[in-house]
Amino acid sequence: MRRGLAEGASEPMLCPEYCMHSHTETSFNAADPLQARASNTDAADSPQRTTPLTIRSLAKMMRSGQRIACLTCYDATTARWLERAGIELLLVGDTAGEMVLGFPSTVHTPLDFLITLTAGVKRGAPSTLVMADMPFLSYQADDAEGVRNAGRFMTEGMADLVKVEADRSFAPLVARMSRAGIPVVAHIGSRPQLSKQQGGYSAAGKSCVDALALLDDARALVDAGAQLLLVEATPAEVAEQLVRESPVPVIGCGAGPACHGQVIVLQDLLGLTAWQPAFALPAIDFGPQLLAAARGWMHRVRANDLGPHPYTMSDAQRIAFAAAAEARTTHPAGSGGTT
């Protein structure tokens, strides 16, 4: 998934962003400071989840008209907060290559790296659906290799769903994955892994012919077994028709309000990016807050203002250590003295 693009842009607008301790419990623990802080923040709007979500949960939300909220996530700590917020679906996108590793595009994102991140996110949010993202050339070269790699996301990465950028030509692969028991998300519309081939990022379905082709892609992939669709960067009219025709939930990324759910990059939502697409305007301006916190820490270090020290010795051990330290000072190592 790409962060989006300016209308008419042919090249990516690159930004420097693009989303454990012993905190692995799944039930609420008032002694956990993260849970205590979360419980005091809009608790009525985001009650603690008591049972894990499944694909059936998303289908039920679709039927009832309840929108599905999805965000990108790349680490366990953030995943814990997003689960407590009530987010239903987390995408460990191949954009982690840009966000975390600093690559210029998603095509450089390593497979093993994404599998590791996916497992971390699932450990952080065990009751939330986690969608893995198959990176460039992890499934395009050979169907059998694609099935094996998708299986690794399920076993090693603990993913609940596996996403592939696809058109109808990938229907046989989706069928093989589905036959193997892998829940597939078909990513249609704008497909960032093709950006080099297409000379940049662009919207999809902007002509009648292209829009109908996109709808045919969706139908073929769902018929092959895809259990979710993710449609990126399309006109709203196209997404509306897609939703009318689709028997499975449709998640939009810059595809208009008709979709059953929406996904954006978390760093955009937090205002950490230098530029945000129009469909992912920030909810807060967290960048300056992060800057202020870092500068505050720097000033505390300079002033040696670290607060009370939490680790102490017993009186007996303190006396013994003082004597031993004095002996070391009086007779330093290598001085030839005796004790």
Instruction: Kindly list the catalytic residues.
Output: 232
- Residue 177: CA count within 13 A, CB half-sphere: 35
Strand partners, 253: 232
Distance (Å, whole) CA 320 – CA 215: 78
- Assigned token pair, 191: 């497909």
Q: Which of 122, 131, 148, 119 is nearest to 55 (CA)?
A: 131
Q: Which of 233, 177, 257 is nearest to 8 (CA)?
A: 233
Question: Residue 306 is which amino acid?
Answer: L
Burial of 77 (0-12, 13-18, 19+ CB in 10 A): middle
Neighbour-count burial of 72, counting CB atoms closer than 10 A to its CB (0-12 exposed, 13-18 middle, 19+ buried): buried
DSSP 274-317: S---GGG--SS-HHHHHHHHHHHHHHHHHHT----------HHH
Across the strands, what pairs with 68?
261
Q: The tokens 């607060």 sit on which residue?
A: 307
